[in-house]
Structure 1
Amino acid sequence: MEAVPARARVYVTCVASLALLCLLPLPSSHAPWWVVALLAGLYAVFEPIVRRRFAGTFHPVLLAGAFLLPPPAAALVPLPGALLSGAGQPTPLRRIWRAAQSSLAVWSASRVHWALGGRDAVVGSDFPYALVPAGAAVLAFCLVLAVLDGGILALGVGVAPLGRRGSGPLRRAWRGLLSRSLAPTAVHGLAGLMMAVLWRSPYGPVAASLVLLPMCVSGWVFAQYHRERAAHQATIRALVQAVDIKDGYTRGHSERVGQASVMIARELGLDDERVEVLRFAGILHDVGKLGVPTRLLRKDGPLTPEERRVIELHPEYGHEMVRGISFLGEARAAILHHHERLDGSGYPYGLIGGQIPECARVVAVADAFDAMTSTRSYRRARPVPVALEELKRCAGTQFDPRMVTALTRALGRPGRPRAAEAGCRAEGDRGWHPAVTADEARPSVPLSGCSSEPPAAGASEPGPLPSRRGTPR
């Protein structure tokens, strides 16, 4: 935190002072000090391991302390591990922040747990009633962490204050922090409750500490999943960068098509896994251009029939390139068929209607929309309303009407992602930023209906293309 703003330093100081105030009743709390010391030692051992190797947080010991100890004593448990460990938190200010934040969260959880009679429920192993105060304590723990993290985010990173309608970036940040942390912390809370119950049972602390072993194994599995996901992202990023370098005029196009595909998929109510696959499909839909001569991709004038036939090979090139990447799933079909048309006049196989995979129909609309709202070498960007009207005019012949309607609805929603509206575009391109109107960015060429020919290489706009029918390989 070397470059932390002064207001953020003041905020950390206030949070640390509040944490110290929570420790003041400690001398009169009659806490079992050996329990405090043992829990603090367990946390100091396991937390840096989890943070360093699994890139995560480890809350079962803290929540076990909240279930076993009075609030002031429970607030002591995270202090040695947070203050003495340098894993991922090298600077003194970061250590103080982590210690104070964790201490306040554990104190709040313990206060709620004891106020609801949770201590007696744990001692007597009173199930299922013990779950009620434990659940409330976990919720309090999450709330405190989310509120404190939201505050440091606002002051340290510069998040704007609440908007006029109460749904500004700061509130969205707090809501996102809470929703993302609630499920994993609830799992940690169950483990902490199991530790507390075993601790008070005849089996004692040794049996309670064994609960941490499966938690570490699950953390390792989760970390492996994230590493695999990061490798997938790196693979896709490398392919997209290669396409962007080769075809400079469409730089950023792939990312925007991926964003638009996600908007359509969410509007259609697809599950999260398919939404992610469609994002991959949109990003990689033009990866086959790596097999097309650069002179054709950058040609300013009209294409000859032979040159067009070469361009039309790029879906098949792309499909061959990603055939062996198993995590792409149905995205590979979208890469192969995103230039097919409902009336059968598309390429490479002239598929008709329902023969075209759903994912390909989504990407086709997203691709055409971004092509029309981006500045190209042969014309300026069209405004969003005009592009949508063009898509509607070609719905049923070239595009799936469901996908066109879904994109129209998604773009009409007030909370649509800004990242999807203002992607990387050519200088002076107004594209599909919401502030652009037809009067501000009129196209420099007449609009083409579904019966006109696109003006240059690789264009994805509405217009018939000579089909090259055949049997899919």
Structure 2
Amino acid sequence: MRGTPAATRGCILAAVIAAVCCALPALRPEAATPWGTAGLLAALCLLCEAVGRRCDPGSAQAGAGSFLPLLPAAAFLLPPPAAALVAAAASLAGRVDQPPFAARRTWRAAQHALACCAASWAHALLGGPAALGGTGAPDLPYALLPAAVAALAFSLVLTALDCAILAAAEGRPVRRSWRTLLPRAVGPHLVHALAGLMMAVLWRSPYGPVAALFVLLPMYISCWVFAQYHREDAAHRATIRALVQAVDIKDTYTRGHSERVGRASVLIARELGMDQGRLEALRFAGILHDVGKLGVPTRVLRKDGPLTPDERRIMELHPEYGHEIVRSIGFLDQARAAILHHHERLDGTGYPYGLRGGAIPESARIVAVADAFDAMTSTRSYRRGRPVPAALRELRRCAGSQFDPRMVRALARAVDRHGWSGADTAVTADEAGAVPTAREEAGPPPARHAARPSPDRSP
């Protein structure tokens, strides 16, 4: 543990001492520990860990507890000290992919031992072992209650320990960590507990442990699929984050603008009653609406002063550049239309194709309103952002000519219900002495009723 901060070492040491105190009673002769059951469960945990490494060697999940669904079964079938021993043994044998290796492995073993011990105590206090049956039939549905309480105890202990180590290692506030981590932990652990309960009922049945193994394969496959989904989702988010960071580096005046446009787009879409799949697509579209700026020369993006006609034509190509950038990214298929057409206007004076009215994709009309709203309410180094009511009045004034009135009304309702924060106090330019650039002063292509709410340095 060399190099580990003192506070972190203290936290790990306290957890290890507590875990040892929980597990030691299992070694006493009078404890009558069912070593056959404990040994078989530990072996199954190790087998799951080994299979996880072989099937997905590059995954951090392989070393983060491929055996986790088996821990509830151990908590239901074993006394608390024996359950702690099984969890500790399985965790110590697991792979760790990041340094400090010894500290992480020791912490994980202590954490799982304490959580599994707490789950076993909760299960026993509510009469869970008797409800599982043995020679008789299990007491269903009562057996579900001790299992659910045990899963909750497991989640609470695991989250509390995570909060403690994050506070010690990173100085992260415990309350904030608790609010973030607990909701994420409860759901998966309840699912694991249900599978563990099925396994424990079969284990205690006349058919014995062999029957319980039939639960293991589908349970393990479902957990593997779930982990694959999360890895794919993480890869998607990393792709988007990289694209947004590239745009922010190139066009520093709009830093943070993309994320806020994504958030405003989701507010509008949710107000319109769109399903979750479309909400996610619109969030991606809002975040990446200006990704085409990567194809615009930096000298044009950062030019101080009016754009020449040629430079304006180059700037007006950025929606098409963005469309081409995301064309080959499969999970962004639904976002492409919004990226390509978010500068179209209802009266046909927008670009790149001059689409009019209903010919403009709905997603693009949503992102256009979100884009203009954030541009107006964002504070720049050279001017304060408009108040939200003033920005909404401007959007209403331009509804029907520049913006879709339905989207404007949806945004107004959403802001009235949820509020809007984050843009009105943040300076989004890098230099305190920045001045408006040509993109912010030149305005859009000629239109009789065109609004001037787009200081996002797009023409």
TM-score when scaled to structure 2? 0.80
- For residues 336-382 of structure 1, the C-alpha deviation after alignment (integer angstroms, 9 at most, x for no partner) is 221122344323344444443332223213322343455779x5453
Distance 1:233-1:115 versus aligned 2 partners, 3 A rule: closer
Residue 126 of structure 2 aligns with which residue? 116
Q: Which of 286, 305, 316 is the equivalent residue of 1:312?
A: 316
Q: Counterpart amino acid of 2:114?
A: L
Structure 1 residues 365-444: aligned runs within 5 Å: 365-373=369-377, 380-385=383-388, 387-401=391-405, 403-404=407-408, 422=426, 425-428=429-432
SS of the residue 1:126 aligns to: coil
- For residues 281-335 of structure 1, the C-alpha deviation after alignment (integer angstroms, 9 at most, x for no partner) is 1222123334445443333222344543443333233324433433113211111
Q: Which of 192, 196, 201 is the equivalent residue of 2:196?
A: 192
| CA deviation after TM superposition for structure 1 residue 396, in Å | 4.5
Decide which moves more: 150-159 or 138-147. Answer: 150-159
Residue 334 of structure 1 aligns with which residue? 338
Residue 109 of structure 2 aligns with which residue? 99
Q: Which of 30, 35, 38 is the equivalent residue of 2:37?
A: 35
- Segments of structure 1 that go 5 or more residues without pairing to the other structure are 161-169, 431-443, 462-473
Distance 2:111 2:151 in 1: 15
Structure 1 residues 140-289: aligned runs within 5 Å: 140-160=153-173, 170-244=174-248, 246-265=250-269, 270-289=274-293
Distance 1:4 1:192 in 2: 36
| CA deviation after TM superposition for structure 1 residue 418, in Å | 5.6
8 Å contact 1:289–1:314 — kept in the other structure?
Answer: yes
Residue 79 of structure 2 aligns with which residue? 70
| CA deviation after TM superposition for structure 1 residue 150, in Å | 1.9
8 Å contact 1:380–1:429 — kept in the other structure?
Answer: no
Residue 437 of structure 2 aligns with which residue? none
Q: Percent identity?
A: 61
Q: Counterpart amino acid of 1:365?
A: V
Distance 1:415-1:193 versus aligned 2 partners, 3 A rule: farther
Structure with greater proportional helix content: 2
TM-score when scaled to structure 1? 0.77
8 Å contact 2:378–2:426 — kept in the other structure?
Answer: no
Distance 1:171 1:268 in 2: 34
| CA deviation after TM superposition for structure 1 residue 412, in Å | 7.3
Decide which moves more: 115-124 or 228-237. Answer: 228-237
Distance 1:141 1:183 in 2: 12
Structure 1 residues 341-360: aligned runs within 5 Å: 341-360=345-364
- Segments of structure 2 that go 5 or more residues without pairing to the other structure are 435-439
Distance 1:457-1:64 versus aligned 2 partners, 3 A rule: closer
Cα-Cα RMSD: 3.8
Distance 2:419 2:164 in 1: 23
SS of the residue 1:285 aligns to: coil
Distance 1:356-1:363 versus aligned 2 partners, 3 A rule: same
Distance 2:287 2:454 in 1: 21
Distance 1:71-1:11 versus aligned 2 partners, 3 A rule: same
Residue 23 of structure 1 aligns with which residue? 23
SS of the residue 2:85 aligns to: coil
